[in-house]
């Protein structure tokens, strides 16, 4: 199983709001996706900070995230962190 396939299965299997009688199952799935997206954003911030603490370059971080080094700095960089 590929990493993408495994990730897809985790997303499909994630249930937070599904079963909530106040919203439809389709709406619940969208709420679940938003929850996962927020969690991934926070985990990525921590992972990038850890990588920078380990002297991983912005170019390496960008490559790993599938974005440019400049985009990585813009999204995750802190003032004064230009190593």
pLDDT digits 0-9 by tens, 2-12:
988 988 888 88
User: What DSSP element (H or E) covers 34?
Assistant: helix 25-53
What's the confidence (pLDDT) of residue 83? 54
In the chain, % helix, strand, coil (3-state, to 5) comes to 65, 0, 35
pLDDT digits (tens, 9 = 90+) for 40-65: 999 999 999 999 999 999 999 999 99
CA gap 14, 7 in Å, rounded = 11
What's the confidence (pLDDT) of residue 22? 92
Helices then strands, counting H and E runs in the chain, come out as 4, 0
CA gap 51, 25 in Å, rounded = 38
């Amino acid at each position: 199983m590929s990493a993408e396939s495994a990730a897809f299965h985790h997303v499909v299997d994630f249930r937070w709001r599904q079963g909530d009688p106040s919203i439809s199952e389709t709406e619940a799935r969208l709420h679940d996706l938003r929850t996962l997206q927020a969690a991934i954003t926070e985990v990525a911030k921590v992972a990038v900070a850890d990588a920078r603490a380990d002297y991983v370059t912005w170019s390496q971080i960008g490559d790993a995230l599938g974005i440019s080094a400049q985009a990585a700095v813009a999204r995750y960089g802190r003032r004064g962190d230009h190593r």
